Amino acid sequence: MKNRKQAFNPYLPSWEYIPDGEPYVFGDRVYIYGSHDFYNGYVFCMGDYVCWSAPVDDLGDWRYEGVIYPRNEDPLNRDGKMCLYAPDVTVGPDGRYYLYYVLDHVSVVSVAVCDTPAGRYEFYGYVHYPDGTRLGEKKGDEPQFDPGVLTEGDRTYLYTGFCGRGDKSRTGAMATVLGPDMLTIEEAPVFVAPGCEYGAGTGFEGHEFFEAPSIRKRGDTYYFIYSSIVMHELCYAVSKNPTGGFTYGGVLVSNCDLHIAGYKPADMPAAYGANNHGSMVEIGGEWYIFYHRHTNGTWYSRQGCAEKLTILNDGSIPQVEITSCGLNGGPLTGRGEYPAYIVCNLFTDQPSAYVGGEGFPKVMQDGRDGDEEPGYIGNIRHSATMGFKYFDCRGVREFGIVVRGYCDGVFEVRTAWDGAVLAVIQVRNSNVWEEYKAPCEIPDGVQAIYLTYKGGGNPSLRSFMLL
């Protein structure tokens, strides 16, 4: 039996940008469907749909399945000028795989189909009423956005919606029931979760629906997962009925780790967040939440991450902490060299819950989109702190870093962002990657690693070593 690979966040290669992840287990593999950002992209979702998959028993071994659907396959987009926004996939009653999506400048739901999970999907049609009118174009329809789908028997439940602040024309998330042809509406849209303009008295206050609807079923309970009006968090609501009665459950994950206390104050952002989109999946008896993070100091180069969930006996799910080892099943080995792009906490002495700002550090890469160049942390300034969690440390007596850039300062090593300094590593000006080491006794056990830069200039960090 081959050795199992360690799993990191992001779970795909550092040069791949697949946000809005919808994970599914088909057979003995996990498949991830999402939109496709570019490194240095200037808008969301510039690429064709691609798919990645991994064995259910080796969640660090992801395989590129290739392009499954090009943007110009849709008759509305033959010139390829529109972007493919966040999709979802479901298995129809005929056993085929159906891909639901919305293009960025229209408000109808398109559908493509394939005989296999990650083959080449072909355009199939548009979701429509029995009279042929497309959903989103009938008088009184609200615009369609971010489809999420769940098929049970001959019925497919389609969840859509987008609700921005100040827009009273958008009511909330919608559920529409489709028939066995996967296109024809059997039950017209109903609202299942309120937008922020209609949240008063609903129990969703402060966490009203914004976008990114997704649906999962566990036992007899439907979990409606969505991005809330604050954008950086994925929340959930529960019901025994797929088209009504949903009650707010809580936050599943925040991509800036707001609300999480213990290792920091609950109201302290520990990463640069922005919009969020993802869903839950059960793999090998364990549940995980898939979400995305933001890189390159922008909103437009997002990468998929995942964390293990704990579902309590009453069905509730506590918010999970963002880590570097979400799919690993436990801490990473506390020995050896690790790439800096697996950073999960990234901040300075000027807190910000949202990405952007010249003075903020960022995960980036050399080259252009598609170049298989390893990611690293760049634009590191005085007070920048980088956190990596978690490692099962045994006998660590030395710590190393690989750094480049014009700088004059030190990296301080800690096991808590505000903990005691365990080592100080001096760095110097260099336009190539240089390795630096210092004695450092990290206590045995499961530990976080935090590096804080103090000094001038603008270094970059490629990797660190536990020795």
Residue 4: what pLDDT? Answer: 85
What's the rounded mean pLDDT across residues 48-52?
A: 98
Q: Tell me what pLDDT residue 2 has.
A: 57
Q: What is the pTM of this model?
A: 0.97
Has residue 79 got a pLDDT over 90?
yes
pLDDT tens-digit readout, 393-422 = 999 999 999 999 999 999 999 999 999 999
Round to whole Å and give the CA distance between 137 and 407. Answer: 57
Helix (H) or strand (E) holding 348: none
What does the mean pLDDT of the chain come to?
97
Residue 173's φ and ψ, nearest 5 degrees, are -75, 140
Count the Cβ atoms, other than its own, within 10 Å of residue 286: 14
One CATH from 3.40.50.300, 2.115.10.20, 2.40.420.20, 1.20.1640.10 for 22-308: 2.115.10.20
Catalytic one among 37, 211, 321, 412?
Answer: 211
Residue 191's pLDDT band (cuts 50, 70, 90): very high
Give the H/E segment covering residue 366.
none
Class of domain 333-466: mainly beta
For residue 333, the model assigns a pLDDT of 98
Q: What is the pLDDT of residues 28-47, one digit of tens each?
A: 999 999 999 999 999 999 99
- Domain spans, the chain: 22-308, 333-466
| DSSP-derived secondary structure for 100-120 | EE-BTT--S-EEEEESSTTS-
Q: Of 20, 88, 142, 412, which one is the catalytic site residue? A: 20
End-to-end CA distance of the chain: 28
- What pLDDT sits at residue 81? 96
Judged against a pLDDT cut of 50, whether residue 212 lies above it is answered with yes
- Strands 279-283 and 286-294 come out as antiparallel
- Please provide residue 281's backbone torsions phi and psi, each rounded to the nearest 5 degrees: -155, 145
Average pLDDT over residues 155-166: 97
Amino acid 1: pLDDT: 42
Active site residue 233: no
Write down the pLDDT at residue 357.
Answer: 84
Q: Which residues does 463 contact at the CB level (< 8 Å), separation at least 6?
A: 337, 338, 339, 340, 376, 401, 402
Q: Active site includes 211?
A: yes
Is the confidence at residue 332, as pLDDT, over 80?
Answer: yes
